[in-house]
Amino acid sequence: MKTAIVLFTLIIALPHGAAASDTDEGDSYFPQQMTASDLKRACASSAITRTGRERRRYCRGFVSGVEEALRQFERQSGLTVCITPGTSARTLAEAYLRYAAGKGFDPTLPAAASVVKGLRLAFPCRQN
């Protein structure tokens, strides 16, 4: 399972490094290796400011990317999540934010691993 989480982290984190933008302080806001706490902060950003809206879009893209990777590697990893086709990136990000606000949230996890946990809790597969 740890191998799958590392794989998800690498798949998701690498493409986003090129999309980094600088803040006024000159620091890159979108780090290549985020913690769950970093992603939670991005997801909960205010929609009032341009920077907040960018962070929220980044959150949606990140969570949606993890969901896509999870579906692609589902058979090899044994990690399952049952998300209805057509579920929006906004809905996925909101599900992650609800998980991140709850008791089982570990802010020190890698962001991708945290998203996997959150999506598995929010979209469990029904047992027949």
> CA 43, 30, 114, 97: dihedral to nearest 10 degrees?
0
Confidence band, pLDDT 50/70/90 cuts, at residue 105: very high
What DSSP designation does 110 have?
A: B
Contacts 24+ apart (CB under 8 A), 50-56: 51/23, 54/21, 55/29, 56/93
| Better-scored residue on pLDDT, 1 or 115 | 115
Q: Is the pLDDT of residue 41 over 80?
A: yes
Q: What percent of the chain lies above the pLDDT cut of 70?
A: 70
Kindly list the domain boundaries of the chain, sorted by start residue.
43-128
Please tell me the pTM assigned to this model.
0.66
For residue 123, give both structure tokens.
Answer: 């979209």
What DSSP designation does 123 have?
A: S
For residue 42, give both structure tokens.
Answer: 């991005």
Burial class (CB in 10 A: 0-12, 13-18, 19+), 37: middle
In angstroms, the Cα distances linking 24 to 27, 28, 37, 51 are 8, 9, 21, 10
Mean pLDDT across 104-113: 91
Q: Is the pLDDT of residue 66 over 50?
A: yes
Mean pLDDT across 87-102: 94
Mean pLDDT across 39-66: 93
